[in-house]
Amino acid sequence: MTNNKNLKWHNWLLLLAVVLLIVTPLVVKKGSEFGGADGQAEEAIKEIQPQYKPWFNSLIQLPGGEVESLLFAVQAAAGAGAIGYVIGLYKGRSEFSNNKNENSN
């Protein structure tokens, strides 16, 4: 039982560390611009072709680049979590199958 409590405690600490890694840059670098490749590409296109107009506009306007970066990071983390879950699921099934085969002998 104590091992299970330690595991839960470690999971909460890892979650706290992830939240701190996400929030710390936003707090430390207040007012700074977190730009991406999209903005740089748009500037380069406007230099080459000043009368360029985009084909469509965004559905929602985010308040700043840092929010956009945060959403991108959350999306990447969710994808990595889903991939990790699937890998763990298949590894667990494989180990369960191997243990089942060993016990049947």
Task: Supply the pTM of this predicted model.
Answer: 0.44
Residue 39 has pLDDT above 60, yes or no: yes
Residue range 74-97: mean pLDDT, rounded: 93
Residue range 34-46: mean pLDDT, rounded: 80
The structural domains of the chain, with segments of one domain joined by +, span 62-105
Residue 82 has pLDDT above 70, yes or no: yes
Residues 6+ apart with CB under 8 A from 46: 52
Q: Which two tokens stand for residue 97?
A: 């199958």
> What is the predicted pLDDT for the residue at 90?
93
- The half-sphere exposure of 88 on its side-chain side, counting CA atoms within 13 A, is 6
Residue range 77-104: mean pLDDT, rounded: 88
> What is the predicted pLDDT for the residue at 35?
67
Q: Are the CB atoms for 69 and 36 separated by under 8 Å?
A: yes
Tokens 């072709």, residue located: 49
Q: What is the pLDDT of residues 52-81, one digit of tens each?
A: 887 888 787 777 777 878 888 999 999 999
> What is the predicted pLDDT for the residue at 34?
64
DSSP state at residue 78:
H
